[in-house]
Amino acid sequence: MSASLSDLQKKQIEQAEELLFSGPEKEGFAKDLYFGKFREASIMPYPEQSHDARTAGDEMVEKVKEFCLDNIDPEKIDREADIPESVIKGLGELGVLGMTIDPKLGGQGMSQFNYCRVMEVIGGHCASTGVFVNAHHSIGLRALQLFGTEEQKEQWMKPLAAGEKLAAFALTEANAGSDAGNVRTRAEPTEDGQAYILNGEKRWITNGGIGDVLTVMARTPDVAEPDGKITAFLVTPDMKGFEVLEARMEKCGIRGTATGRFKLTDVRVPNENILGPVGNGLKVALTVLDYGRTTFGACCTGAAKYCIERMVARANSRYQFGKTLGEFQLVKNKLALASADTYAMESATFHTAALIDSGADDFMVETAMIKVFASDMLWRITNDCLQIWGGKGFFTDQPFERLMRDARLNLIGEGANDVLRCFIAAVGIRHVGKEMQVVQSAPWKAYKLIKAAAKLPVKHEHLRFFANSIGKQIGKFAWSVEMALIKHREGILDQEFTQGRLGDIATELFMASCVYSRLSALLVNGTIPEPKKQIEVDTGMLYMRLARIRNERRFEELKTNFDSEVEKVANAWLQHDYSKNWVLTPEEKDIPQ
């Protein structure tokens, strides 16, 4: 390993290798993009539900729609900062809170695909309720479902799936959020070896102050790791030493969710409450977040669709200068872009949900891509929706200021977007780097580094142009990754500007490929009415054009940019002493000077 890497970077690389890349090499569509490949088998044909699965999903979607309209008041939930007990009970009775859980354990046994369909409805109606369900099921119950022992599931799953008890997932601390490996909560084994004693504090935990079963991440001793390794524990609030410091922390958006802060003081947790192997807590966390990010994408899609509906309503009914707003080109631009990007986030979400249902081994990059893209686009779409509503939309008798407050968290929660951009880039770059090392030791394999346009199957002549343009960009992307590695070598770890651009290019290529796959299936489907088919085809094609233009700009910025000037100016302002102009918080006072 190069001496240019710091000891911390070396340690982080070793931990990442152990956590993300141990075991047999896993293949995936997103990873293959970095090698200039379009893995057709991983993305085509676009997933289609069986008749029975579709029927079951349709019935559940209709029930949830009706329940949302009759029982969930998003304005009241936001105003009172509380999701009523009747809503939680109703969602439990409908089966939403245990949708994917085995019926033997009290669940509905439904697919991730249908779960995402339901979460799209809930997310489009009330963001707070969507986040609550996601926290309880997608990352709370899911951890128990995937890593729990039969005894653990038998003890807790039925009341959780029914909504009689609530789940929470407690990872975040004062200095551990996106940096999940920085957990400081400690878990020391008892002298008799029958339990662990937990000490620490968790904050910003959805359901953290009201949950009945909490998956708590804590650092346990490890002979090979002086600082210990992270282990997942099932903790209940009736354990002595568990103290809720704040059940409902005041916040900007998704005010209905109970975001809590709690403290653990010598909490004794028996060994039978360890979730997964000792020292495997980060694997538990990253795995369930993959599932959560998929339903995250569904919630964003639902919210974006609601915004589009409100855009259309306002554009058709509001007159200015003798015309409806919908007759103005700049308004049309906002509506068309919102529709195209929403189509892309929906296409990728359901592709990945089907990937999960298929039993695929690896989808961590795809889910990160969905989260980044969907949250970025929803933030812009929400802003454009308010803009079309103008002054009327700015007042609180309309839902748009609430929608904006709710949407803002999405760029932070379940991994901050800039961190995920670098993660998306780093995972792909790592695999290319390994191949380049092989070529370096065996020069006759240099042919592997030659990148041509990827080949996409053309199922309909209308898609030939897009097959060629996506294929060319995939080849260009792989070449750009190699050039970045040749230029920076291991120093690429510090090149966040480059990582961010590469991560965004890969994400856009994945989204465009999902849309391409979906349109390939749509255009040869003779059962869909032509008017419906045409608007969908036009919307998907617009997205692929937008994706191509956005990526071409990113390619250009890899070569021509003002990164050094940006850093210079930022560094100058970072040195500016503003300490006399504000009162430092206790946390800011603790920052090393």
pLDDT grade, residue 593 (50/70/90)? Answer: very low
Q: What is the pLDDT of residues 42-89, one digit of tens each?
A: 999 999 999 999 999 999 999 999 999 999 999 999 999 999 999 999
Is 528 domain-assigned?
yes
- Please indicate, yes or no, whether residues 401 and 511 belong to a single structural domain of this protein: no
125 closest CA partner among 398, 403, 408: 403
pLDDT score at 435: 75
Is 490 domain-assigned?
yes
pLDDT score at 439: 58
Residues 508-519 have a mean pLDDT of 98
pTM over 0.75, yes/no: yes
SS3 140: helix
The larger pLDDT score, comparing residue 179 to residue 420, is at 420
Instruction: Please determine, for residue 19, whether its predicted confidence score (pLDDT) is greater than 60.
Output: no
Residue 28 has phi, psi (to 5 degrees) of -165, 160
Distance CA 536, CA 564 (A): 43
Distance CA 296, CA 291 (A): 9
Instruction: Please determine, for residue 577, whether its predicted confidence score (pLDDT) is greater than 90.
Output: no
pLDDT grade, residue 458 (50/70/90)? Answer: very high
> How high is the mean pLDDT of the chain?
91
- Please indicate, yes or no, whether residues 361 and 339 belong to a single structural domain of this protein: yes
Question: What is the three-state SS of 212-253?
Answer: CEEEEEEEEEECCEEEEEEEEEEECCCCCCEEEEECCCCCCC
Lowest-pLDDT range of 129-133, 222-226, 508-512: 222-226
Assign residue 106 a region (left: φ > 0; alpha: ψ between -120 and 50; beta: otherwise): left
Contact status, residue 168 vs residue 217, Cβ threshold 8 Å: no
- Please indicate, yes or no, whether residues 216 and 331 belong to a single structural domain of this protein: no
Lowest-pLDDT range of 11-25, 26-40, 428-442: 11-25
- Please indicate, yes or no, whether residues 385 and 504 belong to a single structural domain of this protein: no
Cross-strand pairs, 244: 262
Is 584 domain-assigned?
no
Distance CA 165, CA 362 (A): 31
- Please indicate, yes or no, whether residues 33 and 110 belong to a single structural domain of this protein: no
- Please indicate, yes or no, whether residues 11 and 103 belong to a single structural domain of this protein: no
Instruction: Please determine, for residue 205, whether its predicted confidence score (pLDDT) is greater than 80.
Output: yes
Assign residue 443 a region (left: φ > 0; alpha: ψ between -120 and 50; beta: otherwise): alpha
Task: From 362, 380, 409, give the residue that closes a domain.
Answer: 409
pLDDT score at 261: 96
Residue 99 CA: distances (Å) to CA of 140, 257, 290, 469, 474? 13, 20, 17, 40, 37
Largest Cα–Cα separation, the chain: 82
Instruction: Please determine, for residue 12, whether its predicted confidence score (pLDDT) is greater than 90.
Output: no
Helix (H) or strand (E) run with residue 158 in it: helix 150-161
CATH of the domain at 156: 1.10.540.10
Instruction: Please determine, for residue 142, whether its predicted confidence score (pLDDT) is greater than 70.
Output: yes
Is 575 domain-assigned?
no
How many domains does the structure of the chain reveal?
Answer: 4
Among residues 120, 346, 414, 482, which one is catalytic? Answer: 414
Residues 534-554 have a mean pLDDT of 98
Instruction: Please determine, for residue 499, whether its predicted confidence score (pLDDT) is greater than 80.
Output: yes
- Please indicate, yes or no, whether residues 541 and 423 belong to a single structural domain of this protein: yes
Residues 279-296 have a mean pLDDT of 91
Distance CA 327, CA 416 (A): 38
pLDDT grade, residue 1 (50/70/90)? Answer: very low
**DSSP structural state of residue 136:** I
Looking at the chain, the whole-number percentage of residues with pLDDT higher than 90 is 80
- Please indicate, yes or no, whether residues 315 and 221 belong to a single structural domain of this protein: no
Angle of helix 85-94 versus helix 51-71 axis, rounded to 10: 160
- Please indicate, yes or no, whether residues 356 and 469 belong to a single structural domain of this protein: no
Residues 438-449 have a mean pLDDT of 56
- Please indicate, yes or no, whether residues 353 and 442 belong to a single structural domain of this protein: no
Residues 134-151 have a mean pLDDT of 94
pLDDT score at 450: 65
Looking at residue 249, its amino acid is M
Residue 369 domain boundaries: 290-409
* Residue 414 is a catalytic residue: yes
Task: From 360, 382, 409, give the residue that closes a domain.
Answer: 409
pLDDT grade, residue 437 (50/70/90)? Answer: confident
CATH of the domain at 463: 1.20.140.10
Query: Which residue is listed with tokens 């980060």?
Result: 282
Residues 364-371 have a mean pLDDT of 96
Distance CA 514, CA 243 (A): 46
Task: From 226, 243, 278, give the residue that closes a domain.
Answer: 278
Q: Which residues contact 493 (CB under 8 A, 6 or more apart)?
A: 5, 9, 13, 426
The larger pLDDT score, comparing residue 2 to residue 435, is at 435
Lowest-pLDDT range of 255-259, 444-448, 563-567, 574-578: 444-448
Is 578 domain-assigned?
no
- Please indicate, yes or no, whether residues 151 and 183 belong to a single structural domain of this protein: no
Is 351 domain-assigned?
yes
Give the number of other CB atoms < 10 A from CB of residue 494.
14
Is 314 domain-assigned?
yes
Contact status, residue 291 vs residue 115, Cβ threshold 8 Å: no
- Please indicate, yes or no, whether residues 447 and 382 belong to a single structural domain of this protein: no
SS3 327: helix
CATH of the domain at 177: 2.40.110.10
Residue 588 has phi, psi (to 5 degrees) of -65, -35
Is 433 domain-assigned?
yes
Q: What's the N-to-C CA distance of the chain in angstroms?
A: 31
Instruction: Please determine, for residue 455, whether its predicted confidence score (pLDDT) is greater than 60.
Output: yes
pLDDT grade, residue 2 (50/70/90)? Answer: very low
User: How many residues belong to the chain?
Assistant: 593
Residue 321 has phi, psi (to 5 degrees) of 55, 35
pLDDT score at 22: 57
Helix (H) or strand (E) run with residue 542 in it: helix 530-559
